[in-house]
């Protein structure tokens, strides 16, 4: 069985796939050449990242394709229902990214409330000439302990975010389309653990009662948070989006920052990736990262190991 690794894999991953019976081809094929390459080489399985799209048209055009493995926690780039109808197996690893994304949320959050994103810009430029002024400017931060974090989307990532927040002494509230009650188990290094019960609430209630809000939702056809939702929030709210660019109305966010309704804001995802709007990039109030939420050495290793193990386990069922 031939497998195209259209996403980089390690030597150990290559060896595991080979030993399971795959003939592995490690080559990144451009989207516009993918159909021809799959057909010319009789590819049966493919490993892709979020940068490759598997549409219904591609599926129809590539009858040899039987397995799609995706390294992303979301599979919005795959026509999943159509693939399943055609008998194609979809494999991904949604839990492997969770800790990395959750920790990035708090990298942003802890940095924002102490103005690190601004201080790190200004200290190299003016730290020697305006040290006292900068000290005064950045000495109005706040603590997270005792504050309320609203989590929109209590899936795998949302639950990891809740664990960190609870560990920091924050009050956690959440909203979810599917979950009414959730038990959050926090495990410690010495084997001890403690459980917290979270009862989800309506979105409007979360918006009104949170000091900080973090989004963990799949692709949205229209923004989940726009001007109307921001108006319901507390003045001085902090917003973090590490989920999907379209989930948060970026224009409404900028306007809310300018009106001082929003005090803190962090974005790891953008509506116009890979070219975010210049007004976002140049806004000194924003804490920004280039869509790295799920990308750490640890998560990449976990993703590859889990994905390849699943592929190896399914080869005999194809």
- pLDDT category at 208 given cuts 50, 70, 90 is very high
Over residues 94-99, the mean pLDDT reads 89
pLDDT of amino acid 316: 67
> Is residue 95's pLDDT more than 90?
no
Residues forming beta bridges with residue 4, ordered by sequence position:
25, 46
Q: Are residues 195 and 257 in the same domain?
A: yes
Q: Are residues 184 and 40 in the same domain?
A: no
Q: Which one, of 172, 254, 260, lies nearest residue 214 by Cα?
A: 172
- Write out pLDDT tens, residues 253-299: 999 999 999 999 999 999 999 999 999 999 999 999 999 999 899 99
Alpha-carbon distances of 15 from 25, 58, 89, 146, rounded to whole Å: 12, 28, 22, 49
What is the 3-class SS of 174-189, one letter each residue? EECCCCCEEEEEEECC
Question: How many Cα atoms within 13 Å fall on the side-chain side of residue 72?
Answer: 18
The count of structural domains within the chain is 2
Mean pLDDT (the chain, rounded): 94
- pLDDT category at 220 given cuts 50, 70, 90 is confident
pLDDT of amino acid 81: 94
Q: Are residues 184 and 81 in the same domain?
A: no
Domain residue limits at 14:
2-93+297-317
Structure tokens that stand for 230 in this block: 């921001």
Structure tokens that stand for 286 in this block: 């924003």
Percent of the chain with pLDDT over 90: 81
Q: Are residues 143 and 257 in the same domain?
A: yes
pLDDT of amino acid 317: 62
Q: Which one, of 232, 267, 315, lies nearest residue 107 by Cα?
A: 267
Eight-state DSSP code of residue 226: -
> Is residue 144's pLDDT more than 70?
yes
Q: Are residues 169 and 308 in the same domain?
A: no
Residue labelled with tokens 């399971």 = 20
pLDDT of amino acid 102: 98
């Amino acid at each position: 069985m031939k497998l195209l690794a259209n996403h980089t894999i390690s030597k150990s991953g290559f060896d595991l796939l080979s030993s399971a019976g795959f003939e592995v081809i490690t080559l990144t094929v451009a989207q516009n050449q993918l159909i021809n390459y799959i057909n010319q080489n009789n590819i049966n399985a493919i490993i892709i990242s979020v940068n490759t799209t598997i549409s219904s048209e591609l599926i129809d055009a590539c009858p040899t394709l039987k397995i799609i493995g995706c390294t992303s926690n979301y599979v919005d780039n795959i026509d999943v229902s159509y693939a399943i109808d055609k008998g194609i197996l979809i494999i991904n690893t949604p839990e492997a990214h969770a800790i990395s994304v959750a920790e990035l949320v708090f990298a942003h959050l802890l940095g924002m409330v102490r103005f690190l994103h601004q201080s790190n810009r200004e200290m190299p430029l003016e730290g020697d000439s305006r040290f006292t002024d900068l000290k005064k400017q950045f000495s109005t931060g706040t603590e997270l302990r005792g504050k309320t974090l609203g989590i929109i989307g209590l899936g795998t990532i949302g639950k990891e975010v809740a664990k960190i927040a609870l560990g920091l002494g924050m009050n956690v509230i959440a909203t979810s389309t599917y979950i009414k009650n959730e038990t959050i188990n926090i495990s410690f290094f010495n084997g001890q653990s403690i459980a917290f019960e979270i009862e989800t609430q309506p979105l409007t209630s979360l918006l009104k009662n949170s000091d900080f809000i973090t989004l963990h939702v799949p692709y949205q056809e229209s923004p989940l948070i726009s001007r109307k939702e921001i108006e319901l929030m507390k003045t001085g709210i902090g917003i973090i989006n590490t989920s999907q660019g379209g989930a948060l109305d970026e224009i409404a966010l900028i306007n809310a920052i300018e009106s001082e309704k929003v005090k803190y804001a962090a974005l790891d995802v953008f509506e116009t990736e890979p070219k975010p709007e210049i007004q976002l990039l140049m806004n000194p109030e924003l804490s920004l990262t280039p869509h790295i939420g799920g990308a750490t050495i640890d998560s990449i290793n976990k993703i590859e190991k889990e994905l390849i193990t699943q592929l190896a386990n399914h080869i005999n069922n194809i």
